[in-house]
Chains A and B, each alone.
Chain A
Amino acid sequence: MNSDIQAENHALRKWHWAFAIVGVVAAVLFTLSYWMDYDREWRKYQRNYASELRAILSGKGVRELPNPGIVYVQTIVSPTRVDRCQMCHRGIDDPRFAKSPHISGKSRC
């Protein structure tokens, strides 16, 4: 057998290693991208909103506390204009949240 071909067969073994390593890195990165796409910054603010809302209502003796959940809030102002402030600042137009730390300090959009 030609020595070049022996060397080539030896090289293919290195490529098998490369395949395994690169494949695992790719799979890890995909899982990471899935998580990063899910765990957006505004989700944190909406979770704060939900817990604050429940705190306000439970203080008023409301029994069945609502769960506002995580939603994509967009106010469609016109076909070409969209208001996205409530994605992070949910409850910005709710007077009960006027003193809330997640609203106060933020100018109205």
Chain B
Amino acid sequence: MDDASGTLGKSKVSRLVNWIVSTRVWRSIIRHGNPDNDLDRMQAVFTNFFLHIMPARVHVHTLRPTATLGLGVIALFLFFILIITGVLLMFYYVPSVDRAYNDMKDLQFVVSYGVILRNMHRWAAHGMVAAVFIHMCRVFYTGSYKPPREFNWVLGVVLWVLTMFLSFTGYLLPWDQLAFWAITVGSSIAAYPPLMGDTIRFMLLGGQEVGQGALLRFYVLHVAILPIVISMVLAVHLWRVRKDGGLARPREGAGGAHPTSAVGSGDWDTGKTYGLMALARGVTPVVGTQAPEEEVTAWPHLTFRLLVVFVATLTAVTAVSLLFDAPLEEIANPTHPPNPSKAPWYFLGLQELVSYSALVGGVIVPGLAVLGIMLIPYIDYSPEAEGVWFTSDRGRKLAWKSSLAGAVSVPILIILNAQFGLRTLWANAPQIMVDIVNPATALLIGMAIFSSTVVRRTGSRRLGAIALFSSFLGALIVLTIIGTFFRGANWVFVLPWEQTGAGH
């Protein structure tokens, strides 16, 4: 702005601007001056409702693209895009088995900008599932779940599960063949937990089959319940990032002395007065030991980056939406499943496991995976190299090796199962035996033995966690690739170019 006043001089425009910003009304809305000095820059962030979630000053490490890859904010911006496009789509969509498919066709053919909005909603949803998952991997590999951030990691895992549920419930709404059969397959998995499985499925579908009741339930979950829940968890997640002292970053100085001032831990009766900032638990930018020289004001260093990332995210979603139309197949036909019937891609790894044993693949593996991931910060709480990718060179090598091991063991197990599987050797094997002896169980046991060996050999729980998480990741990616590209009609092996069915 001072550049502007230089060139415009005392022109009428700049005098008008000056007058407006000096009025009582303006100053009641914007409480700080033009942010051209550090105090105003900090006030700009501190006094603004939408910006106050950010700290007034940020550490330069946090701003480096390699520190976070920006995945959390990308996921957040995708969520914003999803809310806006989703609310707009609600103006035309009626969740009725008679009208839903017709409304999709209307959006596609007769509503102005209907196609692009629907495409953006679809692709942003897939993007959010991916971004949230990769964000979780980033937080894991940089060790950012260490104390005091343990519970925020748990909240993050909850957000990941909620994101998948949001995507899954939205999947049914177009009421085409793809939607109907993906949900028929997916909701049948919900029936496998012992004792309550059928009850869960009945409650989810509001009936014995996917019909009007299920469509309405999925709609209410998709547009009301899950968005409210995810927004609240998200708010706490972001709030805790601040309260836990900003993003994790490597400790400074030799020895890494890192005093934390927790409420109640210090001697507060010193006659000193404390600002609210001093009460924040953990290492806040104010109470930490690092010198303020390593911090810059959030405005513009952080806010500007966020702006660019937002425009970039919007651009990417728009570009994909212009290139690829969201799939819309024939109207749902409960008598003729397409062959193969596939779940959404992020569930295809599970569907691959389900094809061996629905109980193990559909319930035990995902249940243990989510629970195990949630428990990571309570098993590995060593304050070792937080904010450092893979902790050390050793960790980096281990991560590569274990993900490779997980990735390779999947096809080996699948081939072994095809050749010497229980049902091939003993056709009438009881179901309980099939549930115990199958690739999914073997994978679980293998990972458990592998990671506990790593812990025993290295004495580092962090390395054990890296081994477990990486082998899980490698196996999941390969399972998803197999489920997506190598499974054709009747779920038999095909090569990707022999695929006939459609799926997304």
Contacts and interface: CB of A to CB of B under 8 A. Distances in A.
Q: Are the chains A and B members of one assembly? A: yes
Interface of B: 60, 63-64, 98-99, 102, 105-106, 109-110, 112-113, 115-116, 291, 293-294, 296, 300-301, 304-305, 307-308, 311-312, 314-315, 318-319, 321-322
B308 A18 contact: yes
B105 A8 contact: no
B352 to A, nearest CB: 36
A88 to B, nearest CB: 10
Interface of A: 1-2, 4-5, 7-8, 11-12, 15-16, 18-19, 22-23, 25-26, 29-30, 32-33, 36-37, 40, 42, 72, 74, 80-82, 84, 87
Contacts of A81: 102
A54 B294 CA distance: 75
B301 A12 contact: yes
Contact of B311 (A16, A26, A32): A26
Contacts of B311: 19, 22-23, 26
Nearest to A29: B318
A37 B308 contact: no
Contacts of A25: 315
A19 B307 CA distance: 8
Contacts of A16: 304
Given A5-B294, A12-B300, A19-B311, A37 B115 contact: yes
B104 to A, nearest CB: 12
Given A5-B60, A37-B115, A19 B322 contact: no
Given A8-B301, A36-B322, A37-B113, A22 B312 contact: yes
Nearest to A36: B322
B322 A22 contact: no
A23 B307 CA distance: 10
A2 B105 contact: no
A74 B322 contact: no
15 contacts: A1-B293, A5-B60, A7-B60, A11-B63, A12-B304, A15-B308, A18-B312, A19-B308, A23-B311, A26-B311, A29-B322, A37-B116, A74-B110, A81-B102, A87-B110
